[in-house]
Amino acid sequence: MMKTPFVTKAQIEEIVKTYPTPFHIYDEKGIRENARKLKQAFAWNKGYKEYFAVKATPNPTILKILKEEGCGTDCSSYTELLMSEKMGITGSDIMFSSNDTPAEEFVLAKKLGANINLDDYTHVQFLKDTCGVPETVFCRYNPGGTFSISTTIMDNPGDAKYGMTKEQLFKAYTELRDAGAKKFGLHSFLASNTVTNDYYPTLAKILFEVAVELKEKTGIKLSYINLSGGVGIPYTPDKEGNDILKIGEGVHKVFDEVLVPAGLGDISLFTELGRFMLAPYGHLVTKAIHEKHIYKEYIGVDACAVNLMRPAMYGAYHHITVLGKENAPCDHTYDVTGSLCENNDKFAIDRKLPKIDMGDYLVIHDTGAHGFAMGYNYNGKLKSAELLLCEDGSIKQIRRAETPEDYFATLDGFWDVEV
């Protein structure tokens, strides 16, 4: 099974004349088409909105594209709030979902008019003391235990640091109402990167039932329910991806079964997708620069875990295409490695690939989310450029590569030291 890159060898050979490898490149056409399909899936819900998870791909150009497609932003930090503001995304177009939140972040979120999503019951008083309670406020729910679909356990909310118990949740809403809040939202995130059309409908049923119970016990009617993220992508080529239209239909069915009869049919639904929105529409492009023949066969590339941390961090699979050899037999077994002084700096282990020659360009797939964003500077390595393959086929640099001057910029007086 194969994945097809959205760039060709000829395109990359032209691009590297201006922008040397490694770099991340994003597909504008794919991003826009996917955003429109998501919007179509939830068009039945009058107030539906997608809040793109900025942490997945924190690039202003990406935010601008998604803004044009009707998306807001899901921010989790001060700098993400600033980036949203700079791109003209403010007010209720921002969802501020944070945890262990510093006071200044709540202050900025309130100043921007963002939807503030409280992670813990104690944050109610913290918010009061910090900047006051806004008219619209969200609370995050953690049902505890394990979360499963059929017999497959997807995640373990009971071990997660996020959200409130139901008892705390109801208490928080009551206190927020007493403090002047007028509109309320409910948020929850129970599983990461699910590849099943059942996740959102299952989560929705849990949250919808909480909404009904909240109304019955406190008289508080929710205005919004945020299904958060968790809808993922198939990283391996043998898996079938999610069908967002079927997912939307599944949520619609539960909405009609649970909320409508309870008089809550006017609740607006929100999502906070990152991986689903961007991952398949980003590639890390790197060049084979070394080969090593010892106890195993190694191919060394000019990218490393600094450019894509997921394989090193938790053994994540990312498909690899050797450009120009898409139809060649995968009759060689390689570890594809970067140059960090860590043995886990491997993009692939025992991977069947075509014969790789020095100078070949490799496309590492599905890096459009949690790729560049998780970069760091270990070993003094520098972050790569980010490029956009525009809809008209042109290439635009949307973030330049770091330089040594960037790396040393926070060291006061570094360049003034005499040796």
Q: What share of the chain is helix, strand, coil (3-state, %, to 5)?
A: 35, 25, 40
CB neighbours of 394 closer than 8 A, spacing ≥ 6?
A: none
75-79-84 Cα angle (round to 5): 55
Q: What is the pLDDT of residues 85-123, one digit of tens each?
A: 999 999 999 999 999 999 999 999 999 999 999 999 999
Residue 413: predicted pLDDT: 85
Residue 83: predicted pLDDT: 98
Average pLDDT, the chain: 95
Residue 283, SS3 per DSSP: strand
Calpha distance 181→43 (Å, rounded): 28
Residue 419: predicted pLDDT: 65
Q: What is the pLDDT of residues 359-381, one digit of tens each?
A: 999 999 999 999 999 999 999 99
Calpha distance 36→248 (Å, rounded): 13
Residue 152: predicted pLDDT: 56
Residue 148: predicted pLDDT: 73
Residue 157: predicted pLDDT: 76
Q: Is the dihedral of CA 305, 189, 269, 132 positive or negative?
A: negative
The identity of residue 273, as a single letter, is L
Encode the chain (419 residues) as per-residue pLDDT tens digits. Answer: 789 999 999 999 999 999 999 999 999 999 999 999 999 999 999 999 999 999 999 999 999 999 999 999 999 999 999 999 999 999 999 999 999 999 999 999 999 999 999 999 999 999 999 999 999 999 999 988 777 775 455 567 777 788 999 999 999 999 999 999 999 999 999 888 999 999 999 999 999 999 999 999 999 999 999 999 999 999 999 999 999 999 999 999 999 999 999 999 999 999 999 999 999 999 999 999 999 999 999 999 999 999 999 999 999 999 999 999 999 999 999 999 999 999 999 999 999 999 999 999 999 999 999 999 999 999 999 999 999 999 999 999 999 999 999 999 999 888 777 76
Buried b (16+ CB within 10 A) or exposed e, 266-297: ebbbbbbbbbbbbbbbbbbbbbbeeeeeeeee
Residue 418: predicted pLDDT: 73
Other beta carbons within 10 angstroms of residue 150's beta carbon come to 9
Beta bridge partners of 51: 72
Other beta carbons within 10 angstroms of residue 66's beta carbon come to 25
Calpha distance 194→232 (Å, rounded): 5
Alpha carbon of 47 to those of 78, 272, 313: distances in Å? 27, 14, 38
Residue 343: predicted pLDDT: 96
Residue 16: predicted pLDDT: 98
**In order of start, what are the domains of the chain with their CATH numbers?**
9-24+280-408 (2.40.37.10), 28-278 (3.20.20.10)
207 token code pair? 């949250």
Please choose, from the candidates 111, 39, 56, the residue with its C-alpha nearest in 3D space to the C-alpha of residue 81.
111
Alpha carbon of 150 to those of 2, 147, 253, 382: distances in Å? 29, 10, 18, 44
Calpha distance 90→83 (Å, rounded): 10
Calpha distance 31→25 (Å, rounded): 12
Question: Could you tell me if 58 and 21 are in contact, meaning their C-beta atoms sit under 8 angstroms apart?
Answer: no
Active site residues: 341
CB neighbours of 6 closer than 8 A, spacing ≥ 6?
A: 27, 30, 281, 283, 389
The identity of residue 302, as a single letter, is D
Beta bridge partners of 224: 185, 268
Residue that the structure tokens 């790197």 belong to = 286
CB neighbours of 173 closer than 8 A, spacing ≥ 6?
A: 139, 184, 214, 218, 220
Alpha carbon of 323 to those of 1, 190, 411: distances in Å? 16, 38, 40
